[in-house]
Amino acid sequence: MHPQRCYTLSASCPDRVGIVARVATFIADNRGWILETSHHADADTARYFMRIEIRADSLAFDLGELRRRFRPIAEEFRMDWRITDSAVKKRVVVLVSQQEHCLYDLLARWQSKELDVEIPCVISNHETFRGFVEWHGIPFHHVPVTAESKAQSCAEVIRLFEEARGDVMVLARYMQILPAEMCEKYPGRIVNIHHSFLPSFVGARPYHQAYLRGVKLIGATCHYVTPELDAGPIIEQDIVRIDHGDSVEDLVRYGKDIEKAVLARGLRYHIEDRVLLNGNRTVVFR
Amino acid sequence: MHPQRCYTLSASCPDRVGIVARVATFIADNRGWILETSHHADADTARYFMRIEIRADSLAFDLGELRRRFRPIAEEFRMDWRITDSAVKKRVVVLVSQQEHCLYDLLARWQSKELDVEIPCVISNHETFRGFVEWHGIPFHHVPVTAESKAQSCAEVIRLFEEARGDVMVLARYMQILPAEMCEKYPGRIVNIHHSFLPSFVGARPYHQAYLRGVKLIGATCHYVTPELDAGPIIEQDIVRIDHGDSVEDLVRYGKDIEKAVLARGLRYHIEDRVLLNGNRTVVFR
Amino acid sequence: MHPQRCYTLSASCPDRVGIVARVATFIADNRGWILETSHHADADTARYFMRIEIRADSLAFDLGELRRRFRPIAEEFRMDWRITDSAVKKRVVVLVSQQEHCLYDLLARWQSKELDVEIPCVISNHETFRGFVEWHGIPFHHVPVTAESKAQSCAEVIRLFEEARGDVMVLARYMQILPAEMCEKYPGRIVNIHHSFLPSFVGARPYHQAYLRGVKLIGATCHYVTPELDAGPIIEQDIVRIDHGDSVEDLVRYGKDIEKAVLARGLRYHIEDRVLLNGNRTVVFR
Amino acid sequence: MHPQRCYTLSASCPDRVGIVARVATFIADNRGWILETSHHADADTARYFMRIEIRADSLAFDLGELRRRFRPIAEEFRMDWRITDSAVKKRVVVLVSQQEHCLYDLLARWQSKELDVEIPCVISNHETFRGFVEWHGIPFHHVPVTAESKAQSCAEVIRLFEEARGDVMVLARYMQILPAEMCEKYPGRIVNIHHSFLPSFVGARPYHQAYLRGVKLIGATCHYVTPELDAGPIIEQDIVRIDHGDSVEDLVRYGKDIEKAVLARGLRYHIEDRVLLNGNRTVVFR
């Protein structure tokens, strides 16, 4: 993301001759200065993906007018499209449980403005991090979850997310499976970090599964949440080498470093509108 | 592996007090000079693993005598054990199909003596690499495989392997599933390279599976062959990063680089007696 | 690189509004189907870089006509530009000394058409690989180099390169320093693999230097050759982890795997016109 | 490190026959249960290095008695040696400046007991993190540094370190060059994180240097501080891939993730007595 204020157009549409020409000519005709541009033509789905950053001060009008002027082109090419303004910070609601690593990591990035977002609140099923979160001046909501209260707890999380006008919900090792209705309510807006290299070791205790299988590398996966467990579109993955001397506890420890790094990268791509959905796969314009 | 001629003791046994003391004292009493030593106590299985390289010229007797003298200790501690002589090259029989990358890579290492083994022959179900292999002065056997001839072909491969007095059989992208009897006949002696990061994408067309799942890294796995497909003990793994711009063909291309590197490392560990079996897992003393 | 025949336009020019619009409109007006497109605006140098692949069969005219029609645009924007045809294979002259790993690796890729180039000849200061190269049907030239004959040997290498109509000269561990005049004669056309992570360990015996410094990772660097030793624009780099147990010989062995992988990637980027020079740095559209 | 309380013997001495036998027999004779053992024979320096973890409850006596009994062996073999008790937490004094990433990372690990140490205080030349540190219940000392006050400030840091009975001083992006006398006062006890892949880019602004050189990977190095700037024994290093699209600011951002990971690993090795000095190189028993 460039330091200047910019508008980011991200779009996908059926591939055909002339898409770039039309969009780029539109921008040039309005004297728009392009900071960064990425394209991808997907041969399998015959779909075209693009992301363009335009310097805000190079245009003589505002975001609303930009959207209004661009709409006819988007309709002509049947685009899924969006234009965002880097001056409007995304609102990220963070859900945690009792593990500290992703939470500390996200708040460190937020504190230094490396992760340039608003965090309107943190929600947890435990009280563990109330003090730490509130010390940062961020509201903390304790929403306990039990087998019986599950539905009610989810409703409360949704209420808090809506109240906070959240753009994206981040499951920073939240350790709770969300009900299908909730996943479907926010497609492409709930980002999870799973502690394995998916599709290996879906579900519970992946480090234990990895240990038993005797793999030589373990990983972590940042993905969008969908109703099917750990099967949503993958945004980012990484791995770390282990060996026979490492216990399950060592795997958990190494894994934490990968988890927080992968989540931070994946969230950043999402926040900067670098992730476009292509069925159950993602285009990530890094 | 040290450049000097050495004897390598590798052993595992139930863990207890005094194993190292007894073995090390035995070596010291015989004036043995230890070049390299590795140990691992497995907390789960309560089993102890060790590998010790002793300079051959530091002992006043030969390999046969070393084994004879060591046997009582091995029996006392109920060891699975082996002592090998670095001057006796392992005999590696290579099986290939029609892909060149692992074969070229192995022969380059063999030619430069980096991989210090004998290759008594290469066996293939295609004639493709006869000229290349024979140019290196290595016998080439064409053993065609069809659905009907499968059992007969395997019998012929076994016959050639026995005739060549092979120590280890390397499936260098052989692309044929071996019958269970064959796997069971050579436990820990058939090394395969699978073109995925196991346990993800078992079986056929793993790059295609990886593409469809939208993973952001692909991998390769070197493992011992067991009757259950792609489920044997893992020796080595590695991965390479891909992105949305990569087609299945790109994955295949990147994958080849990982496959040959992982196979070469795994085979080297095996050849140098660095791999000890611990159930379906491996201890690899790198 | 796409399997279809394509024309690849690569260009750089001073950054300004309207470059993409103009180029893309030109392509669209000629019904050109864009397969892949990459852009980079360099904030420091205020220079714009682009690379566009156009399906050859989407244009109603040939390469010469494409170049003729594009020239006015290139001149208007003061572009450094080039349009190549994927059907015209690049001619790669390989220089080697006595190490086998890069040579085997390149010929394996060439043999399988993964590296889709012509290799009109291999030149070496030793006879070592004559048989291997000639077995592949590739002419082999032995050009001995001594301290006294250096200038004459270089002249002979240049003569052979010109005679072979080489597009690019690859120093596949050639182990000879080229005279400045030769480097200047072929700017951006001589690709070297240096066996360290530059700028660390310039010059001779980099693995020995790395061992003495006690680094925990070693690397390799693929770069264009310039008159200043190991200081040319870097195309690609990679590393491998080592530890205290590794001798200089182990470093050399691990290093070979990195060297051949990095050279193969760097050469591929060069061959596919993915590398654009930006002063002493490179833009690599992967 | 094993969850059970253990004594860790780490030692180096001139290599000769019988070291392992003598040490292991000593342990066995005292019924010591070995949890983990690592050895390294350095061919260049003819020196032997070892690290052995013994379960504390397997010995019938305490640490003082263990040291007393071991001393004659240590003297016979002329060992540099040390025996530590995992129940006695190391005291880590952290020095920071104005960057948050390493501090947040270390405190997260400390808070979860992953990094099982005491942090008696944090020292900084800025007030920036007073609140954050004190919220964790850790004393914070502000020791301003100016060109004139340098000597006096260092004296104050030393005083605070001594007062805190620090075992190790961690420069968590402290950004101040320590005077030679201070480095010499605590050999092998001051751990620094340098934001480049040493020996490349010594000194100030390494990311800027890396950007200008056009490298394709950037790194970080955890090392012991010695009087020569950024030239001390290296404990751990790692890298991350960058490309032409990354600005210096991007490099700084990516680098932070590597810095904190490398520092955490290096510090952990140090804390667990896994690092032994071998001249200006390290043996790291991971």
Q: Hey, are the CB atoms on D28 and B37 less than 8 Å from each other?
A: no
Look at residue C206 in the predicted model and tell me its pLDDT: 95
C133 and C57 housed in the same domain: no
Look at residue D65 in the predicted model and tell me its pLDDT: 98
Which of A15, A27, A36, A39 best probes binding to C when mutated, by most C CB atoms within 10 angstroms? A39
Mean pLDDT of B3-15: 95
Give yes or no for A87 touching C (CB within 8 A).
no
Mean pLDDT of C133-138: 98
**Residue D252: how many CB atoms within 10 A of its CB?**
20
Q: Write the Ramachandran bin of A159: left for phi over 0, alpha for psi from -120 to 50, otherwise beta.
A: alpha
Of C105, C132, C253, the CB nearest to B114: C253
Which of D39, D253, D269, D285 best probes binding to A when mutated, by most A CB atoms within 10 angstroms? D253
Look at residue D147 in the predicted model and tell me its pLDDT: 86
| Distance between first and last Cα of chain D | 10
- Residues of chain C contacting residue A31, judged by C-beta atoms under 8 Å apart: 17
B67 and B185 housed in the same domain: no
The tally of domains found in chain D comes to: 2
Q: Hey, are the CB atoms on C39 and A41 less than 8 Å from each other?
A: no
In a domain, B117, yes or no: yes
- pLDDT tens string, chain A, 286 residues long: the values are 567 899 999 999 999 999 999 999 999 999 999 999 999 999 889 999 999 999 999 999 999 999 999 999 999 999 999 999 999 999 999 999 999 999 999 999 999 999 999 999 999 999 999 999 999 999 999 999 998 888 999 999 999 999 999 999 999 999 899 999 999 999 999 999 999 999 999 989 999 999 999 999 999 999 999 999 999 999 999 999 999 999 999 999 999 999 999 999 999 999 999 999 999 999 999 8
Give pTM, 2 decimals.
0.96
- Give the CATH number for residue A132: 3.40.50.170
Picking from D85, D114, D134, the residue at the C-terminal end of a domain is: D85
- Residues of chain D contacting residue A135, judged by C-beta atoms under 8 Å apart: 131-132, 135
Look at residue C147 in the predicted model and tell me its pLDDT: 86
Of C212, C216, C234, the CB nearest to D216: C234
Tokens matching residue C92: 């790669």
Sign of CA dihedral C286, C51, C268, B196: positive
D25 and D153 housed in the same domain: no
- Residues of chain A contacting residue D245, judged by C-beta atoms under 8 Å apart: 36
Mean pLDDT of C254-272: 97
Give yes or no for D73 touching B (CB within 8 A).
no
Among D3, D2, D15, D9, CA closest to D52: D9
Look at residue D14 in the predicted model and tell me its pLDDT: 98
C111 and C60 housed in the same domain: no
Mean pLDDT of C201-212: 94
Q: Confidence band (pLDDT; 50, 70, 90) for C4? A: confident
B219 and B145 housed in the same domain: yes
Picking from B85, B117, B144, the residue at the C-terminal end of a domain is: B85
Beta-ladder partners of A59: none
Look at residue A114 in the predicted model and tell me its pLDDT: 94
Q: Over pLDDT 70: what percentage of chain C? A: 99
Q: Confidence band (pLDDT; 50, 70, 90) for B134? A: very high
Q: Which helix (H) or strand (E) holds D124?
A: strand D122-124
Give yes or no for C253 touching D (CB within 8 A).
no
Q: Hey, are the CB atoms on D247 and C280 less than 8 Å from each other?
A: no
In a domain, D125, yes or no: yes
Supply the mean pLDDT for chain D: 96
Q: Which residues of B are catalytic?
A: 230
Per-residue pLDDT of B148-184, as tens digits, reads 888 999 999 999 999 999 999 999 999 899 999 999 9
Of A100, A135, A261, the CB nearest to D257: A261
B106 and B62 housed in the same domain: no
Q: Over pLDDT 90: what percentage of chain C? A: 95
D230 and D266 housed in the same domain: yes
Residue A175 burial by Cβ neighbours in a 10 Å radius (0-12, 13-18, 19+): middle
In a domain, B225, yes or no: yes
- Residues of chain A contacting residue D108, judged by C-beta atoms under 8 Å apart: 100-101, 104-105
In a domain, A229, yes or no: yes
- Residues of chain B contacting residue A219, judged by C-beta atoms under 8 Å apart: 217
For chain C positions 7-66, those within 8 Å of chain A (CB to CB) are 17-18, 20-22, 24-25, 27-29, 31-39, 41, 43, 58
- Residues of chain D contacting residue C234, judged by C-beta atoms under 8 Å apart: 213-216
Beta-ladder partners of D191: D170, D224
Look at residue C2 in the predicted model and tell me its pLDDT: 65
Q: Which helix (H) or strand (E) holds B281?
A: strand B281-284
In a domain, A250, yes or no: yes
**φ, ψ of residue B110 in degrees (nearest 5):** -70, -40
Of B43, B235, B286, the CB nearest to A247: B43
For chain D positions 224-243, those within 8 Å of chain B (CB to CB) are 241
Look at residue D96 in the predicted model and tell me its pLDDT: 98
- Closest CA in chain B for residue D40: B36
Q: Which residues of C are catalytic?
A: 230
Look at residue B147 in the predicted model and tell me its pLDDT: 86
C53 and C154 housed in the same domain: no
Look at residue B3 in the predicted model and tell me its pLDDT: 73
Q: Hey, are the CB atoms on C249 and B3 less than 8 Å from each other?
A: yes
In a domain, B1, yes or no: no
- Rounded Cα–Cα distance for residues A274 and A280 (Å): 16
Give yes or no for D208 touching C (CB within 8 A).
no
CA distance C39 to chain D (A): 9
Q: Hey, are the CB atoms on D21 and B25 less than 8 Å from each other?
A: yes
Q: For A131-170, what is the HEC assignment?
A: HHHHHCCCCEEECCCCCCCHHHHHHHHHHHHHHCCCCEEE
Mean pLDDT of C218-237: 96
Q: Hey, are the CB atoms on A264 and D257 less than 8 Å from each other?
A: yes
Q: Hey, are the CB atoms on B281 and A247 less than 8 Å from each other?
A: no
Look at residue B1 in the predicted model and tell me its pLDDT: 53
- pLDDT tens string, chain D, 286 residues long: the values are 567 899 999 999 999 999 999 999 999 999 999 999 999 999 889 999 999 999 999 999 999 999 999 999 999 999 999 999 999 999 999 999 999 999 999 999 999 999 999 999 999 999 999 999 999 999 999 999 998 888 999 999 999 999 999 999 999 999 899 999 999 999 999 999 999 999 999 989 999 999 999 999 999 999 999 999 999 999 999 999 999 999 999 999 999 999 999 999 999 999 999 999 999 999 999 8
Q: Write the Ramachandran bin of A214: left for phi over 0, alpha for psi from -120 to 50, otherwise beta.
A: left
Picking from B85, B103, B119, the residue at the C-terminal end of a domain is: B85
Mean pLDDT of B121-143: 98
- Residues of chain C contacting residue A49, judged by C-beta atoms under 8 Å apart: none
- Give the CATH number for residue A47: 3.30.70.260
Range of the domain at B57: 6-85
CA distance B12 to chain A (A): 14
B96 and B81 housed in the same domain: no
- Residues of chain C contacting residue B108, judged by C-beta atoms under 8 Å apart: 100-101, 104-105
* pLDDT > 80? residue C78: yes
Which of B197, B223, B235, B244 best probes binding to A when mutated, by most A CB atoms within 10 angstroms? B244
Whether the Cβ atoms of residue B225 and residue B70 lie closer than 8 Å to each other: no
CA distance C27 to chain A (A): 8
The complex's ipTM works out to 0.94
Look at residue B209 in the predicted model and tell me its pLDDT: 96
Q: Confidence band (pLDDT; 50, 70, 90) for C1? A: low
- Rounded Cα–Cα distance for residues B200 and A215 (Å): 11
D80 and D163 housed in the same domain: no
Look at residue C278 in the predicted model and tell me its pLDDT: 96
In a domain, A217, yes or no: yes
D80 and D101 housed in the same domain: no
Rg of chain A in Å (alpha carbons): 20
Look at residue B2 in the predicted model and tell me its pLDDT: 65
Per-residue pLDDT of C33-50, as tens digits, reads 999 999 999 988 999 999
Whether the Cβ atoms of residue D230 and residue D183 lie closer than 8 Å to each other: no
B71 and B104 housed in the same domain: no
Mean pLDDT of B114-137: 97
In a domain, C1, yes or no: no
* pLDDT > 80? residue C175: yes
Q: Hey, are the CB atoms on B21 and D39 less than 8 Å from each other?
A: no
**Cβ contacts from B onto D, under 8 A:** 59
Of A42, A80, A105, A230, catalytic: A230
